[in-house]
Amino acid sequence: MKQRIVTALILAIVAVCLILLAPTSLFASVLVVVWAVAVWEWTGLIGMRAAQVRIAAVLAVVLAQAGLWSVRDSSLWWVVLVAGVVWWWLALLWMRRYTFSASPTSRNKAIKLLAGLCVLVPAWAALVQLHGETPDGRLWTLFALVLVWAADTFAYFAGSRFGRNKLAPRISPGKTLEGVWGALIGTALVALIAGWWMQQRGAGLALLVGLAVLCVVFSIIGDLFESLMKRQAGVKDSGSLFPGHGGMLDRLDGVFAALPLFVIGKVGIDLLVAP
C-alpha cells in the first residue's frame, strides 16, 4: 500500500503540473509519448511478439495522432470523438461474450489491435480537445481526470470495506457492486463540489453531476475491458512501469473510456445552458 500511495502521488504531481503549465501543443506531444507506451503494452497484451510488428503498431497510432492534430478544427475530429463513445457500448457487448476472440489466432490479434485503436485514439483526441478549450480548458482537463481518479479511489475503499457481491467475477473477481456504488456516490459529490467551485450553477451543475456519474460507468467499463484482455492473456498487469500499479494501461484504462464521453457531454451541457 505504501508503494502504491507514493507512486500515485508522484504521478499525480507530474500530471497536474503538465496539465496546468504546458501549452496544448506540448501537452498533446507528451500524450503521444504516453500513448506510444500504452500501444506497446497493448500489443504485448494481445499476443503480438515480433518487435518490428509492435513498433509498426506504435508508429501507426503516432501517425494517426499527427493526422488528427492537422485536422483538429474539422468535423473528422468530432467523428473520432463520437466513435470513441460508441465503441465502449460495443465493448460492453464484447464482455458479455466472454470468450470472443480469446484464442491467440492471427484473426483475433487483428481484431484486438483494431479494438486498441478504438480505445486509444479517441481518448487522446478528447484530452487534447479539452485542454485546448478556452476559457479554463486546463481546469476542465484536471476536473475530468480527477473524476476518474476519485472513482478509482472510492471504488477501492468502498469495495474493501463493504464489498460482498461480485460485479463481474469471470472478468475481474476483485470488483464488487458495493465498490461501484462507492465510486458513483463519491464521484457525484466530488463533481458537485468541484462544479460549484468552477462557477456551475442550477441546471448546468445538475447536468454536470449527471455527466460525471455516467463517466464513472464508462470508466468501469474501460477497467473491465482491460481486465478481460489481461485475463485472456493470462497476466495480472499490462506492464511493470509503475511500482505497485502495473503498466500504463493499468493506470489509464478508465481514462480511455471516460474522456470521449466527458468531452461530448460537456459540449452538450454548454449548448443546453448557454444564455
Q: What's residue 274's pLDDT?
A: 76
Where does the pLDDT of residue 244 fall: very low under 50, low under 70, confident under 90, or very high at 90 and above? low
pLDDT tens column, 25-51: 999 999 999 999 999 999 999 999 999
Residue 80 clears pLDDT 70, i.e. is over it: yes
Helix (H, G, I), strand (E, B) or coil at 246: strand
Q: Name the pLDDT band for 1 (thresholds 50, 70, 90).
A: low
pLDDT at residue 8 tops 80: no
Q: What is the mean pLDDT of residues 61-78?
A: 94
Tell me the pLDDT band of 11, cut-offs 50, 70 and 90: confident
The pLDDT value given to residue 88: 96
Query: DSSP characters for 78-145?
Result: HHHHHHHHHHHHHHHHHHHSTTTT-S--HHHHHHHHHHHHHHHHHHHHHHHHHHH-TTTHHHHHHHHH
Q: How many domains does the chain have?
A: 1
Q: Where are the alpha helices (DSSP H) in the chain?
A: 2-21, 24-45, 51-70, 75-96, 106-132, 137-162, 177-197, 202-233, 248-272
Where in the sequence is the domain holding 16, given as residue range(s)? 2-272
User: How large is the average pLDDT for residues 74-90?
Assistant: 96
Given a cut of 80, whether residue 126 has pLDDT beyond it is yes
Beta bridge partners of 242: 246
CA separation for the pair 152, 268 (Å, rounded): 26
Yes or no: say if 143 and 269 are a contact pair by the CB < 8 Å rule: no
What would the mean pLDDT of 85-111 be, rounded to a whole number? Answer: 93
- Residue range 210-225: average pLDDT? 96
Q: What is the pLDDT of residue 167?
A: 95
Q: If pLDDT is split at 50, 70 and 90, which confidence band does 135 have?
A: confident
What's the pLDDT score for residue 237? 87
Q: Which pLDDT does position 112 carry in this prediction?
A: 96
Q: 55-64, 137-146, 204-213, 233-242: lowest mean pLDDT where?
A: 233-242
* Model pTM score: 0.94
Mean pLDDT of the chain, nearest integer: 93
